[in-house]
Copies of this chain bind each other. A is one copy, B any other.
């Protein structure tokens, strides 16, 4: 109404106007507005949340693809090459890359390598690259990533590639965020020993053995195949969302028109582009599978419920703690450590005022 110049002193109406402008600007393709909103969301600013709320109705179109794997497998190069391939084969397809590097609670965080290689994509207006800061809890990062992915979805990116270092819980969090999860391995990591574990096998929709020009690729592939058979004794997609299994099984058992998805194992050499076309095709195939089987809607619901639950939880805890007298939480924790109160008594005292 008055001035559109950003200011902390703007009256409420003008602030709201400004947010709508940000949302409108993002919908119109303004990359600066997009970058600013993503930063606001990452910093937990209310303005960012309000912009996201404006944009939320435009979400639900993008194909969200998670890419995980141990460091050294060449994930970043793979994401880079895949993006280049997609852009070259169909310039209408807009691609966003979100690189997440969850801070391990033990090491203070590994470094997402090869991010610098993405610079050659930066000039392409159909590509947007965003690295996530590693501050905060794992749950907090997952929550912020979910929001960032929603803004990119609303901004009209057809494909959002979410790249993360495979460090425990983060793979599971990716599976909750993504429609399609790609697990990247490579031959010969650590004296012929691979970072393959049961938990990873179960979230993968597509396996990639990258650096497939290295010796030992057959061993890696064979190991993946035997672990895969171990992990998927019954059809894959029934297992994907534990809570929905029962309702799904009964609903789907009568539907024989859609074949089950068996995770393919693909070989790539990201550095020279070998196998990247096949990977692109497998990603499209998986999207088609999700849409024709009805799993797309199921994953959408699961994803949004997880986000809703996380937000509800953090809102309740933050709200509660902010109303406690200063030092009350710490004092109560000390009481537990001195064994004056059990944890149950301490929580009862804090929440209900009685021990």
B-binding residues in A (CB < 8 A): 49, 52-53, 56-57, 59-60, 70-71, 103-108, 110, 166-169, 171-172, 175, 190-199, 202-203, 219-220, 222-223, 226-227, 230-231, 239-242, 245, 300-301, 304-305, 307-308, 311-313, 315-317, 319-320, 332-333, 336-337, 339-348, 350-351
Contacts of A300 in B (CB 8 A): 337
Contacts of A301 in B (CB 8 A): 337
In the complex formed, the residue of B with least CB distance to A246 is: B108
Contacts of A347 in B (CB 8 A): 308, 311-312, 315
24 interchain pairs, CB-CB under 8 A = A52-B342, A56-B339, A60-B339, A70-B197, A71-B198, A103-B242, A104-B198, A104-B199, A105-B241, A106-B175, A106-B239, A107-B242, A168-B199, A169-B169, A190-B230, A193-B220, A195-B197, A197-B197, A304-B336, A308-B336, A312-B350, A312-B351, A315-B351, A316-B320
Contacts of A231 in B (CB 8 A): 107
In the complex formed, the residue of B with least CB distance to A57 is: B339
Cα A69 to Cα B74 in complex, Å, equals 27
Contact A242 B345 (CB under 8 A): no
Contact A346 B194 (CB under 8 A): no
Contact B198 A195 (CB under 8 A): yes
Contacts of A49 in B (CB 8 A): 344
Known A57-B339, A319-B351, A336-B304; judge A106-B203 contact (CB<8 A).
Answer: yes
- A220 smallest CB distance to B (angstroms): 8
- A282 smallest CB distance to B (angstroms): 21
In the complex formed, the residue of B with least CB distance to A239 is: B106
Contacts of A191 in B (CB 8 A): 219, 222-223, 226
Cα A192 to Cα B103 in complex, Å, equals 30
Copies of this polypeptide in the complex: 2
Contacts of A202 in B (CB 8 A): 104, 106-107
Contact B198 A70 (CB under 8 A): yes
Contacts of A171 in B (CB 8 A): 168
Contacts of A59 in B (CB 8 A): 339
In the complex formed, the residue of B with least CB distance to A71 is: B198
By Cβ-Cβ distance, the 10 closest A-B pairs, closest first, are A56-B342, A53-B342, A168-B199, A106-B202, A193-B223, A191-B223, A195-B197, A316-B316, A57-B339, A311-B347
Contacts of A53 in B (CB 8 A): 342, 344-345
Question: Which of B192, B193, B242, B305 is within 8 Å of A105, CB to CB?
Answer: B242
Instruction: Identify 8 new A-B residue pairs, CB closer than 8 A, beyond the known A167-B199, A308-B343.
Output: A52-B342, A107-B231, A168-B172, A192-B193, A193-B193, A195-B197, A307-B343, A312-B320
